[in-house]
Amino acid sequence: MFTVQIDSDQYAVKWQHAVPLVRPTTNGQKGCAGTLCELRRGKPGDKFAEMEKVEVSEAFLSDHDHYDPNVGRKVSLTRALTGFSKETRRQFWQAYHAMRGGKW
């Protein structure tokens, strides 16, 4: 989990890994594992559970993929940030890389 301060709001991002998800396929739906990203907004000092839910996004794991939590985090965070401006997305990615200790 990490937080980002944007103007007067504080955003928090939290992931759940290897959660069972339902992936749409050409033949209907299929159960699979994946990563769930939850983005919330609140005031500085708020706990994650008290914050307003802004976005929830998923990253699906293909049958042939090797599970990698870093890839799941990146894909699901990218999807969660689609409605934000370029500058705001940049702030989130800087905080993400700081959380990872500078690793990509």
List the chain domain ranges.
2-99
pLDDT tens string, the chain, 104 residues long: the values are: 999 999 999 999 999 987 777 766 666 666 677 899 999 999 999 999 999 999 999 888 777 888 888 999 999 999 999 999 999 999 999 999 999 887 76
pLDDT for the residue numbered 102: 73
pLDDT at 18: 76
Please give the model's pTM, rounded to 2 decimal places: 0.85
Residue 33 pLDDT: 77
pLDDT reported for residue 61: 78
Q: CA dihedral defined by 100, 33, 58, 45, rounded to 10 degrees?
A: -50
DSSP 3-state of 97: helix
